[in-house]
Amino acid sequence: MSQVQLSFDDRLKQLPTLGMGISTEFGALSAPNSLDVQRLKRELPLCAEVLEVGVEVAKGIDSDTLQWVAESCPTTYHFLDINLAEPSDFDQLWLEGVREIISQINPAWLCGDAGLWHHGPRAEEHMLLLPPILSRDSAYAFADGIIQLREETGLEVFPENPPGHVFVGPLHLLDFFAIVLDRADTGMLLDAAHLTIYQDFKGLPVTTGLSSFPLDRVIELHMAGGSVKRSGELTFIEDDHSPVILPGTWEIYETIASSLVELRAVIFECERNRFEDCEATLRSLRHQLDHKLPQNSSWFRRSNEFTSIR
Ligand SMILES: [Fe+2]
């Protein structure tokens, strides 16, 4: 039986714990006032255990990521260009590009926002990110795409709850993803900052829906800063990845931490900020992870798993 035919519980046993890290996209770490990764690795190595690489196949991999890989440091592959719910988006040219990048960065798994990454054909001018329609049929379509990408790559594919200020469909975001996870028999990348934005948009307490959500399926967690903005009568949270995590996002973390028994990676999305501006939050987050996650969780069951599978 191949790896992808096993149940998720069995596949999970093969999945390494990567730890805490940061994210990047093509060119982000070389942009003005961006995070100095070498300094991060030197001064806060426990906050630089993994690099989540945002990938648009057409752009490829930048030199900062290649250097990270050359130093034998773990990565995950965060896709930025696939509409999982559209079978026609899985064209052979794109899949060949995905496999090429996998061979370059050797990611532990694939992950990314389950939404629409482009409108119309995949082309530079068409790239955007729209949230999914929150219906059961839509959840099934996303699950089919996750299974297909898993089978095409031989790697786990963890959907992320995307950001957005307008959502359509009858389901709560967490109920939608619970269906996706069950149907695709997979785990999830929960973005706590995106969830804060969603709950705020819906006028709900930030922890709504979490008590019935399968938190043991959260394999990766994103934490990120945001900013409260005002436009006329409208107040909203912008997903700007600023260095300060909003209170609502911390509240989500506090609420779920003791249930994250299968957590294997935590990413603080801060790469477009200077080290000096991120340092306090990076230290605080690492402290919270080591003190709030359950002692019997995968977070504390690390060995040489990653090096053994490379
Ligand atoms: Fe995220």
Q: How high is the pLDDT of residue 125?
A: 83
CA 51 to centroid of ligand 1, rounded, Å:
13
CA 74 to centroid of ligand 1, rounded, Å:
18
CA 237 to centroid of ligand 1, rounded, Å:
15
How many CB atoms within 10 Å of residue 194? 24
CA 310 to centroid of ligand 1, rounded, Å:
25
The single-letter DSSP state of residue 174 is H
Q: How high is the pLDDT of residue 2?
A: 62
Instruction: Give the DSSP H or E segment for 160.
Output: strand 157-160
CA 198 to centroid of ligand 1, rounded, Å:
13
- Parse the chain into domains and list their residue ranges: 3-309
Distance CA 49, CA 217 (A): 22
Determine whether domain 3-309 maps to CATH 3.30.70.260.
no
pLDDT averaged over consecutive 10-residue blocks of the chain (310 residues)?
Answer: 78 96 95 95 97 97 96 96 95 97 98 93 87 97 98 97 94 98 98 97 97 98 95 91 96 98 97 96 97 95 50
CA 305 to centroid of ligand 1, rounded, Å:
25
CA 22 to centroid of ligand 1, rounded, Å:
11
CA 158 to centroid of ligand 1, rounded, Å:
12
Q: What is the pLDDT of residues 46-69, one digit of tens each?
A: 999 999 999 999 999 999 999 999
- β-partners of residue 110 are 77, 157
What tokens appear for 261 in the block? 């028994």
CA 272 to centroid of ligand 1, rounded, Å:
14
Helices (H), 233-310: 247-256, 275-292, 305-309
Q: Smallest Cα–Cα separation from 139: which of 170, 180, 178?
A: 180
CA 191 to centroid of ligand 1, rounded, Å:
5
Q: How high is the pLDDT of residue 303?
A: 56
How many CB atoms within 10 Å of residue 113? 24
Q: How high is the pLDDT of residue 126?
A: 87
CA 270 to centroid of ligand 1, rounded, Å:
10
CA 1 to centroid of ligand 1, rounded, Å:
33
Residues in the chain: 310
CA 239 to centroid of ligand 1, rounded, Å:
9
Q: What is the pLDDT of residues 74-90, one digit of tens each?
A: 999 999 999 999 999 99
Cα 237 to chain center, whole Å?
19
Q: How high is the pLDDT of residue 1?
A: 56
Q: Smallest Cα–Cα separation from 101: which of 136, 137, 135, 65?
A: 65
Q: What is the pTM of this model?
A: 0.95
Backbone φ, ψ for residue 62 (5° rounding) = -90, 175
Handedness of CA 22, 28, 32, 37 (dihedral sign): positive
CA 113 to centroid of ligand 1, rounded, Å:
7
CA 160 to centroid of ligand 1, rounded, Å:
7
